[in-house]
Amino acid sequence: MSLLRSQSGRRDFLVTSALAGALGTLLPAAAQAGTPPAGTATAAAPAAQAETPFAGAATVGAAALGQHPARDPSIRPFRFQASDEALDDLKRRIAATKWPSRELVPDASQGVQLATMQKLARYWEGDYDWRKFERRLNTLPQFVTEIDGLDIHFIHVRSRHPNALPIIITHGWPGSIVEMLKIVDPLTNPTAHGGSAADAFDVVIPSMPGYGFSEQPAELGWEPVRIARAWTMLMKRLGYSRYVTQGGDWGDPISEQMALLAPSEVLAVHTNMPAAVPPEILKAAQSDSPPPEGLGADERRAYDQLRFFFTKGLSYALQMAGRPQTMYALDDSPIGLAAWLLDHDARSYELIARAFDGEKEGLSRDDVLDNVTLYWLTNTGVSSSRLYWENKLPFFAPFGLKAPVAVSAFPDELYQAPRSWAEKAFPNLIHYNRLEKGGHFAAWEQPELFTKELRAAFRSVR
Amino acid sequence: MIVRLAAALLTAMMLMTGTVRAQPAGDESIRPFKVEVPEREVAELRRRIRETRWADRETVGDNSQGLRLAELQEIMRHWGGAYDWREAEAKLNALPQFVTRIDGLDIHFIHVRSRHRGALPLIVTHGWPGSVFEQIKLIGPLTDPTAHGGRAEDAFDLVIPSIPGFGFSGKPAAAGWNIERIARAWAVLMKRLGYSRYVAQGGDWGAAVAGAMARQAPPGLLGIHVNLPAAQPPEIAAAIAAGSPPPPGLSANELAAFEALKSFFQKSRAYAAMMGTKPQVVGAALADSPAGLAAFTFDYNRQEPLRLLDRDEFLDSVTLYWLTNSAASAARLYWEEGGRSVTNSAGQKTGEISLPVAVTIFPEEVYRAPESWVRRAYRNLIYFHEVDKGGHFAAWGEPELLAAELRAAFKKLR
């Protein structure tokens, strides 16, 4: 059965649910093209597809593919509801996990630790509630629109304050829109979060192609520059002609490239993982060389972080850049997927491990599992990996941006960009701050600090 | 007499039973071993194969993103259908297998003595993603040469151990089981078997083990043969790591080897980098997903198992990894080696080898080591030959050819 299942499921679901949303809820399923009832977007018919018990998001509906014309510029409301079958199947798989033997070291130097993964599994299977997250997500206005042949999912929240500054915030890997939910209200509704009306943003948070509820590219070429171009179209379609961009991880090159592609529209860029490493430093770190002469203390620390990344931390990226398809395990094993997503970088893994030890700091267990479960339900372990294969841009090397750029340098990021490098990479540096705490998932870990940073960063361009 | 194994081995083998007695520390006994996987384990594997949840199809028309979905689905249909583990088990159980405790760990090995007097003892070591299944087709030609086109004086006594963490050997419970330590254990094993003059052979990790044995030069070791030489010179390794062009003055062979190594480094080393830095991540994913395990292993060396090996024979080994839950414990060998490449002469310290070394080059190997590089790496090179077919899994794909090479290579050392 599952061996022979069609691979077209997720696209079908996305189109269907979005269309159903556009048509209004509770449209009789039979009205939708005569295929098995897909239900509606607001109540996504759990048993409708029943072809596989674990179909979940992947095969909720096959009805409406092709029902909206290509190049349809419409913006369709979107809601998501996983099927009970998909959630039951997930728990069944977690319970049936076949575990590897324990690591031979007392730390995380061999990767995710068995005890942490087993705590995660117990919580995921026993206590974690996806529905809670789903309800929270569905309180936000979500949409799908077709850009460059692909359905792009996004959250779009307009501030009630006039003259709010439009901002498009891009997640990375192994993140998703889940990373950004905590900053939506502080940014759009600043007066309720210690800010003034003048701090308000209209917020757009898209899912990258192949991630979450955005469509999986079926053709080649969806690399970061193409995504950046799609985002400029998205902002135009939403009626924004002057806006700012924000990102870390993949969100950084996308946000920076947008400024290159649409210089008259992008007023400024904020990045929490800047492409700002001088070429000679990058080369030295990549070849595991001792630090170059004459580095200041901040530069030396950043160099050591980069060297660690390139020698010990890069392998996941190599795998996804070289052989993304071979990682079938990610879409077949919830724990395999969780291990892969948890082990992005040493500091964020430590933070997550502490969360599963019961410490309340930065990320919660639910935060982590909301994100992992989103990857699982959308079956995007492999499809998200292909972005590394598609990517042609170097990691961390400056793109020659002349636009105004703001940098927030968090200490536990892959590298904490020193001011000197940021000044060199961005001649028009409008904001630079070194934070006391926070890491790779800054918006997720430190939403208050992050919000303050964005307010301060863009004050001068409003 | 079927009794339960010692606790550590028991865990390692998932309740498989063998004809082995629990053994006190310091016991040097050599205990017979048979494979007998409970039916529920085999049934559980089939269930998981049936219930595979698939990733989307690749977005290319070739295998440049990894193992293609249609190919993996074909493999999985067969693995979960017609493929029969009991046949694999019977292949092993037809051979004399043993377990003995060395350096605190139970080591599993196949041991076949030739009926010919004066047979040369040979210890052959598998690699990743292989196992003792790699070498069993060598047994006939090497131990019984007269039935395989050879002469009685070509005969070998053959020892084929499972590397710690692989197959039926114990899983190390503490860090430290690196190549050096495995090599020392193998010398203990050969001594324990009563061999005072012997040779060693391997490819992949097996080549590194043979090389380490040659460096250690334990009493009795006469020389080694490798089919994956550590011949990559330091300046070549440095140029590739830096993404630089080839150094000037390379011959055509050297340039081809440079390009092959560069391509491997840029496109194919990720599996090794992953296992070298995050074996537990790889382990967590592959221990829980037969499809994940099959894809990760079939994808090796531009999918050599699909191109050059018998699918069932490779599945024997993949199934062994699954049943012995060895994905993580095998991956840890890369971690123990800290990213040292088996092809790199400096990394493998070939300059410290003074014992005789013989090398055979198979054309579909990860790289075809040029004779010039091999001579630089091994100062006491007694044999170099390039054959016209075969790849990384030489013993598996071309057992007769490799057996002929070993006869020729070790003739001078008898």
Of B282, B251, B246, residue with least CA distance to B263: B246
Q: Average the pLDDT over B173-186 and give the result.
A: 98
Report the C-alpha gap between A109 and A315 in whole angstroms. 13
Of A285, A286, A289, A237, residue with least CA distance to A265: A237
Report the C-alpha gap between A195 and A207 in whole angstroms. 27
Q: How many CA atoms lie within 13 A of B295 on its CB side?
A: 35
What's A169's DSSP letter?
E
What are B18's two structure tokens?
A: 């063998």
- Residues of chain B neighbouring A381 (CB-CB closer than 8 A): 55
Cis amide leading into A334 (omega within 30): no
Instruction: Tell me the shortest Cα–Cα distance from B294 to chain A, in angstroms.
Output: 9
Task: Give the closest of A323, A326, A340 to B281, CB-based.
Answer: A340
What one-character-per-residue DSSP string does A370-391 give?
Answer: HHHHHHHHHT-HHHHHHHHHH-
Report the C-alpha gap between A299 and A283 in whole angstroms. 15
- Residues of chain A neighbouring B325 (CB-CB closer than 8 A): 98, 100-101
Is A111–B278 a contact, with Cβ atoms under 8 angstroms apart? yes
Instruction: Tell me the shortest Cα–Cα distance from A183 to chain B, in angstroms.
Output: 31
Return all residues near B366 (Cβ < 8 A) that are at least 6 apart. Answer: B228, B260, B261, B264, B268, B301, B343, B392
User: Residue A84: left if φ>0, alpha if ψ -120 to 50, beta else—which one?
Assistant: alpha
- Residues of chain B neighbouring A315 (CB-CB closer than 8 A): 270, 273-274, 276-278
Domain range list for chain A: 15-461
Q: How many CB pairs under 8 A join A and B?
A: 210
* 3-class DSSP assignment, residue A221: coil
Instruction: Tell me the shortest Cα–Cα distance from B21 to chain A, in angstroms.
Output: 23
Q: Return the residue of A nearest to B41 by Cα.
A: A98
Q: What is the predicted pLDDT for the residue at A29?
A: 30
Catalytic residue among A243, A375, A388, A432: A388
Q: Return the residue of B nearest to A86 by Cα.
A: B53
User: pLDDT tens across B103-144, in order?
Assistant: 999 999 999 999 999 999 999 999 999 999 999 999 999 999
What does each of the 462 residues of chain A score in pLDDT, given as a tens digit?
A: 333 333 333 434 443 343 333 333 323 333 332 223 222 334 232 322 323 333 333 333 322 333 445 578 899 999 999 999 999 999 999 999 999 999 999 999 999 999 999 999 999 999 999 999 999 999 999 999 999 999 999 999 999 999 999 999 999 999 999 999 999 999 999 999 999 999 999 999 999 999 999 999 988 999 999 999 999 999 999 999 999 999 999 999 999 999 999 999 999 999 999 999 999 999 999 989 999 999 999 999 999 999 999 999 999 999 999 999 999 999 999 999 999 999 999 999 999 999 999 998 899 999 999 999 999 999 999 999 999 999 999 999 999 999 999 999 999 999 999 999 999 999 999 999 999 999 999 999 999 999 999 999 999 999
- Can A367 be counted among the known catalytic residues? no
Report the C-alpha gap between B288 and B414 in whole angstroms. 47
User: pLDDT tens across B74-91, in order?
Assistant: 999 999 999 999 999 999
Report the C-alpha gap between A170 and A246 in whole angstroms. 6
For the beta carbon of residue A84, count every other beta carbon within 10 angstroms.
Answer: 12
Q: Which amino acid is at B344?
A: N
Is A340–B67 a contact, with Cβ atoms under 8 angstroms apart? no
Is A330–B53 a contact, with Cβ atoms under 8 angstroms apart? no
- Can A388 be counted among the known catalytic residues? yes
For the beta carbon of residue A200, count every other beta carbon within 10 angstroms.
Answer: 23
What's A109's DSSP letter?
B
Return all residues near A370 (Cβ < 8 A) that are at least 6 apart. Answer: A130, A133, A178
What is the complex's ipTM, to 2 decimals? Answer: 0.92
Task: Give the closest of B67, B276, B328 to A101, CB-based.
Answer: B328
Catalytic residue among B204, B299, B321, B378: B204
* 3-class DSSP assignment, residue A148: coil
CB B289 within 8 A of CB A339: no
Q: What is the predicted pLDDT for the residue at B99?
A: 98
What are B375's two structure tokens?
A: 């001579």
**Residue scoring higher pLDDT (B10 or A384):** A384
Of B94, B129, B55, B127, residue with least CA distance to B315: B129
- The enclosing H or E element of A430 equals strand A429-434
The β-bridge partners of A77 are: A143
Residue B22 pLDDT greater than 70, yes or no: no
Write down the mean pLDDT value for chain B: 94
Is A326–B276 a contact, with Cβ atoms under 8 angstroms apart? no
Is B277–A111 a contact, with Cβ atoms under 8 angstroms apart? yes
- Residues of chain B neighbouring A383 (CB-CB closer than 8 A): 55-56
Is B66–A326 a contact, with Cβ atoms under 8 angstroms apart? yes
Catalytic residue among B334, B367, B378, B383: B334
CB A394 within 8 A of CB A282: yes
Is B284–A339 a contact, with Cβ atoms under 8 angstroms apart? yes
What one-character-per-residue DSSP string does A431-448 give?
Answer: EEEE-SS-BTTHHHH-HH
- CATH number for domain A15-461, candidates 3.40.50.300, 3.40.50.200, 3.30.70.270, 3.40.50.1820: 3.40.50.1820
Tell me whether residue B145 is exposed, middle or buried, using C-beta atoms within 10 angstroms of its C-beta: 0 to 12, 13 to 18, 19 or more: buried
Instruction: Tell me the shortest Cα–Cα distance from A459 to chain B, in angstroms.
Output: 42
Q: Kindly indicate the confidence band of residue B15, based on its pLDDT and cuts at 50, 70 and 90.
A: very low
Is B278–A112 a contact, with Cβ atoms under 8 angstroms apart? yes
Is A323–B278 a contact, with Cβ atoms under 8 angstroms apart? no
What are B229's two structure tokens?
A: 């030489």
Task: Give the closest of A105, A283, A326 to B296, CB-based.
Answer: A326
Q: For residues A133-150, b (16+ Cβ closer than 10 Å) or e, as one string? A: bbeebeebebbbbbbbeb
Phi, psi (degrees; rounded to nearest 5) at B281: -70, -50
CB A134 within 8 A of CB A80: yes
Report the C-alpha gap between A440 and A438 in whole angstroms. 7
Q: Kindly indicate the confidence band of residue B25, based on its pLDDT and cuts at 50, 70 and 90.
A: low
The distance from CA B277 to its chain's CA centroid, rounded to whole angstroms, is: 20
CB A324 within 8 A of CB B66: yes
- Can B288 be counted among the known catalytic residues? no
CB B261 within 8 A of CB A70: no
The distance from CA B259 to its chain's CA centroid, rounded to whole angstroms, is: 25
CB B240 within 8 A of CB B262: yes
User: pLDDT tens across B247-296, in order?
Assistant: 999 999 999 999 999 999 988 999 999 999 999 999 999 999 999 999 99
Is A2–B53 a contact, with Cβ atoms under 8 angstroms apart? yes
Report the C-alpha gap between B22 and B373 in whole angstroms. 48
Tell me whether residue B71 is exposed, middle or buried, using C-beta atoms within 10 angstroms of its C-beta: 0 to 12, 13 to 18, 19 or more: middle
Instruction: Tell me the shortest Cα–Cα distance from A34 to chain B, in angstroms.
Output: 25
Is B284–A379 a contact, with Cβ atoms under 8 angstroms apart? no
Chosen for mutation from B244, B277, B299, B325 (greatest number of chain A CBs closer than 10 Å) is: B277
Look at chain B and count its residues: 414
Structural Rg of chain A based on CA atoms? 22
Report the C-alpha gap between B273 and A311 in whole angstroms. 9
Chosen for mutation from B76, B278, B303 (greatest number of chain A CBs closer than 10 Å) is: B278
Helix axes A84-95, A114-126, angle to 10 degrees: 140
Catalytic residue among A12, A89, A151, A249: A249
Q: Return the residue of B nearest to A113 by Cα.
A: B280
User: pLDDT tens across B34-58, in order?
Assistant: 999 999 999 999 999 999 999 999 9
- Residues of chain A neighbouring B51 (CB-CB closer than 8 A): 2, 54
Task: Give the closest of A2, A100, A216 to B56, CB-based.
Answer: A216
Task: Give the closest of B11, B59, B279 to A386, CB-based.
Answer: B59
**Helix ranges, A309-398 (H):** 315-322, 329-332, 334-342, 346-356, 365-378, 381-390
- Structure pTM? 0.91
- Residues of chain A neighbouring B278 (CB-CB closer than 8 A): 110-112, 315-316, 343
